């Protein structure tokens, strides 16, 4: 039986104050035609937080995402964090992650995040010309200056910030520039998300901003080499979530990142109206599990529908099942199994992961060996 460890909440649903060309979530507004503006009610917020705290593990994680969650206003999140305190069990620990485009971030938001120790994911694709290629305001206006102002505001007030960069057909050409840009601007925690989307007018082909698999493989190899070269005294000075998750697979540990797990469905997504879905990338009627006002989250997590969803991860073509990198890849995210004639379909990014893992394998084995040796020495002492 699965236990509730984390939830991803979208309090403003698909609503956003930007118009990024590659965004996949704006179209989800079609699921909620009753109103043009989508906002979670305080009643739904209270019910959601209460269920998560009462049914969750001793360490529970909340992710706040969108759309753009800052559209809810600070008071909404002050209530959310207060509900976490009210409904927490004795000794229960809670963490909050907040993904934002940064447009509305000011000193008051930063103080709130600092007070409640919130990890902020700031969507920033890199230097100005790279970021403004696709991350645009309405009217095709650039957004980079405003995001950099948000970065300054957050870091100046001691907020922990993670740079989230989408890797597109354009940005994939500049791994060193993007990595060094983040480092030079105090963003030593980084995530790189490959953009894989179908053409809006023809779902049999990739959108023009989708990253090329071979190029993404090269990108990962370059970023990895930069990451390794920045180690000091055997320890990383920058944090790359994907690399750390892959390293966990070499150590036989839980990788944390769901794309590297054997099964999907380890967390739940809760929309603004309380509807619960299997995954952020599968917010669609087929994978709707219920509503927080009508059922228990733990029951939805262990429902037949969620278990069926989880098993999709293991439905892989022979090429994957016989691949020497399977235990470090697990076929990638099922959302990327597109443009494939194999049955079951192959992950579009499979060539990238093969190229990267072959390149990084010696270093990962060395790091894993050093970690185990250090752990054994600590145990003996």
Rounded-to-integer distance, Cα 44 and Cα 374, Å? 47
CA 188 to each of CA 6, 58, 179: distance values in angstroms, whole numbers, following the listed order: 24, 29, 9
Active-site entry in 152, 230, 280, 361: 280
Residue 191 bridge partners (DSSP): 164
DSSP states of 164-192: EEEE-TTGGG-HHHHHHHHHHTT--EEEE
Rounded-to-integer distance, Cα 45 and Cα 73, Å? 14
Rounded-to-integer distance, Cα 12 and Cα 5, Å? 22
Residue 269 bridge partners (DSSP): 8, 277
Rounded-to-integer distance, Cα 62 and Cα 65, Å? 10
Rounded-to-integer distance, Cα 31 and Cα 310, Å? 23
Length of the chain (residues):
381
Q: Is residue 230 annotated as a catalytic residue, yes or no?
A: no
Residue 277 bridge partners (DSSP): 269, 288
Per DSSP, the three-state class of 307 is: helix
Per DSSP, the three-state class of 232 is: strand
CB atoms within 10 A of CB 247: 20
Q: Are 66 and 10 in contact (CB under 8 A)?
A: yes
Active-site positions read 280
């Amino acid at each position: 039986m699965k236990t509730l460890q984390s939830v991803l909440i979208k309090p403003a649903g698909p609503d956003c104050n930007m118009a990024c060309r590659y965004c996949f979530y704006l179209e989800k507004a079609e699921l909620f035609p009753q109103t043009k503006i989508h906002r979670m009610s305080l009643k739904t917020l209270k019910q959601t937080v209460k269920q998560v705290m009462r049914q969750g593990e001793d360490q529970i994680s909340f992710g706040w995402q969108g759309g753009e969650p800052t559209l809810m206003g600070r008071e909404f999140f002050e209530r959310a964090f207060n509900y976490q305190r009210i409904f927490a069990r004795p000794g229960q620990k809670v963490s909050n992650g907040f993904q934002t485009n940064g447009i509305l971030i000011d000193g008051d938001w930063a103080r709130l995040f600092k007070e409640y120790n919130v990890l902020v994911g700031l969507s920033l694709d890199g230097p100005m010309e790279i970021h403004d290629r696709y991350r645009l305001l309405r009217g095709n206006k650039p957004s980079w200056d405003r995001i950099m102002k948000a970065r300054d505001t957050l870091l100046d007030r001691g907020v922990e910030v993670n740079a989230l960069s989408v890797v597109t057909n354009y940005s994939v050409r500049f791994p060193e520039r993007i990595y060094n840009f983040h480092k030079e601007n105090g963003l030593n925690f980084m995530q790189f998300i490959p953009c894989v989307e179908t053409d809006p007018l023809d779902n049999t082909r990739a959108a023009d901003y989708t990253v090329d698999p071979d190029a993404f493989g090269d990108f990962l190899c370059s970023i990895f080499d930069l990451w390794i070269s920045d180690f000091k005294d055997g320890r990383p000075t920058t944090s790359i979530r994907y690399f750390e998750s892959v390293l966990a697979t070499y150590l036989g540990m839980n990788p944390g990142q769901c794309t590297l797990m054997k099964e999907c469905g380890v967390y739940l997504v809760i929309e603004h109206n309380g509807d619960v879905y299997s995954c952020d990338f599968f917010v669609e009627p087929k994978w709707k599990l219920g509503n927080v006002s009508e059922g228990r989250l733990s029951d939805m997590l262990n429902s037949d529908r969620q278990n069926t969803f989880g098993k999709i991860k293991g439905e892989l073509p022979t090429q994957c099942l016989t691949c020497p990198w399977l235990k470090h890849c697990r076929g990638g995210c099922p959302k990327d199994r597109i443009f494939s004639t194999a049955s079951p379909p192959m992950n579009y990014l499979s060539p990238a992961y093969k190229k990267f893992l072959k390149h990084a394998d010696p270093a990962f084995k060395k790091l894993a060996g050093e970690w185990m040796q250090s752990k054994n020495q600590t145990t003996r002492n």
